[in-house]
Amino acid sequence: MKVLALILAALAGTASAAGCGPDKLNTSRTLTLKREGALYGTNQHAALPLAKGEVVLTFDDGPSPENTPLVLKALSDQCAKATFFMIGQQIAQNTELAKRVVREGHSAGIHSDTHPHLATLTVEQQLEDLKRSRAAYKEVFGIETPAYRFPFLEETPTLLAALKEANITVASIDLAINDWIPEDTTAILAERLKNSLDKAGSGIILMHDANGPTAKALPTLLQVLKDKGYKVVHLEWE
């Protein structure tokens, strides 16, 4: 039975590779980062070592039972890999979906436990939120989280110091599509993406897999990247 399973897995892998031809967006390369308290994303910090025309796809606020599967399908259809910054409580409530994200070849970090405005919390509350989100991640994935994105990108000295001490990378962004307005249409999100790409030229793209309009628009957004000649770089950590 083990031999049969290995054969089937190999065949599935071959079929998947065969479906990732030049008509797909694809993932051009993988950038493996050290597990350290680095800070990336030119919105607030240094740039990742990316060439012009290279982008990193990232998604926040999931996993969402309604929307994350649509995002995963769109990524799979274009053979593109992404990094998902998950909320601790969402990981705990949607364990199998969180595992599926990583099983399908994507990487995962954390995005706080409850998505609070951290600066409104006491030092103790901030540290407790981080502790809970790290525990949820380790419970599901069996390892410490390699990366953290601040909710609302609102960094605090307390958590910056704690993340550095824990060798957890802080991932900010380079460009976004402001995809949190319920009335957004696919056309609006596509236009925002085009405008952001034209201004930035490369970098970490922020999107939200918990957002319905984003999940619906993602096939179009990925096609925008392909049509404009952008290359997807996948982030992983040692």
Q: Is residue 75 part of a domain?
A: yes
Q: What is the mean pLDDT of residues 71-77?
A: 98
52-55-56 Cα angle (round to 5): 145
Tens digit of each residue's pLDDT (9 = 90 or more) over 191-211: 999 999 999 999 999 999 999
Asked if the structure places residue 34 within a domain, the reply is: yes
Is the Cβ–Cβ distance between 187 and 158 less than 8 Å? no
**15 CB neighbour count, 10 Å cutoff:** 9
Mean pLDDT computed over 212-226: 98
> If pLDDT is split at 50, 70 and 90, which confidence band does 12 have?
very low
Beta-bridge mates of residue 169 = 147
Per the structure, the count of domains in the chain is: 1
Q: In which band, very low, low, confident or very high, does the pLDDT at 182 lie, cut at 50, 70 and 90?
A: confident
Range of the domain at 196: 28-237
Q: What is the DSSP string of the chain?
A: -HHHHHHHHHHHHHHHHHT-STTS----EEEEEPSS--EE-TTTSBPPS--TTEEEEEEES---TTTHHHHHHHHHHTT---EEEE-HHHHHHSHHHHHHHHHTT-EEEE--SS---GGGS-HHHHHHHHHHHHHHHHHHHSS--SEE--GGG---HHHHHHHHHTT-EEE--SEE--TT-TT--HHHHHHHHHHHHHHHSSEEEEEETT-HHHHHHHHHHHHHHHHTT-EEEEEEE-
Q: What is the pTM of this model?
A: 0.92
pLDDT band at 19 (very low <50, low <70, confident <90, very high): confident
Give the pLDDT mean for 147-174.
98
If we measure between CA atoms, which residue out of 41, 68, 76, 43 comes closest to residue 55?
Answer: 41
Query: What's residue 221's pLDDT?
Result: 98
In a domain, 71, yes or no: yes
Please identify which of the residues 60, 113, 129, 209 carries the catalytic annotation. 60
pLDDT at position 3 over 80 = no
Rounded to an integer, the average pLDDT of 215-229 is 98
Asked whether residue 198 is assigned to any structural domain, the reply reads: yes
Residue 155 CB contacts under 8 Å (≥ 6 apart), including other chains: 44, 170
Residue 21 forms part of a structural domain: no
Would you say residue 145 lies in a domain? Answer: yes
In a domain, 175, yes or no: yes
Catalytic residue among 129, 208, 209, 234: 208
CATH number at residue 54: 3.20.20.370
Average confidence (pLDDT) over 170-185: 95
83-124 pLDDT, tens per residue?
Answer: 999 999 999 999 999 999 999 999 999 999 999 999 999 999
60 labelled catalytic: yes
Residue 17 within a domain: no
Amino acid 181: pLDDT? 87
234 is an active site residue: no
Q: Which residue has the higher pLDDT, 208 or 19?
A: 208
| 153 φψ region: left (φ > 0), alpha (ψ -120 to 50), beta (else) | left
